[in-house]
Amino acid sequence: MLGDQRDQIRAIVSAFTTGEVWSIDTYWLEAYKVDNERLTIPNEEGSFRSALVGYGKFLQSLDVNPPFVWTAGMENLEGRFLYPSAPPGRMRIHTGPVGKGVTDVVSDSGLYFLGDSPAQTLKPFFAKLYNSCGVRRENWQDET
């Protein structure tokens, strides 16, 4: 919940008998604002990775066997600013944005096997996200 907006649900997960899991989380787009004015693109790669692993384990517990097809996406990105994190052991001196979203929706899909690196599995999606802001995603970001 955000502040006093206790009557709104910002995330939901549905599991279907077909072996599909759908997850929608709108919290991050609303929560990531600078001074409640400058809309930003959530830097939530860790959340995406954790969800991929968790949903994979959940499906396997239901005897649904990999490979799992995943689709990841974000929408409402046009005009939002990208603030990537600094490499491990470093800090960003310039704290402003490094890119700006020029498309509204970014998505990608692929296959996931339990035990695969979630960072490597989702790398194509995050590369597209950065590219949509005119920013090159660095390889060290797969390690954080």
Cα-based distances in Å from 3 to 7, 8, 29, 47, 117: 11, 11, 15, 21, 35
Q: pTM of the prediction?
A: 0.82
- Compute the Cα dihedral for 117, 121, 123, 126 and give only its sign: negative
CA separation for the pair 123, 118 (Å, rounded)? 8
Give the pLDDT confidence score for residue 109 in this predicted structure.
96
Give the pLDDT confidence score for residue 18 in this predicted structure.
85
The answer to whether residue 1 scores a pLDDT higher than 80 is: no
pLDDT digits (tens, 9 = 90+) for 15-33: 888 888 988 887 766 666 6
Return the amino acid letter for 34. Answer: V
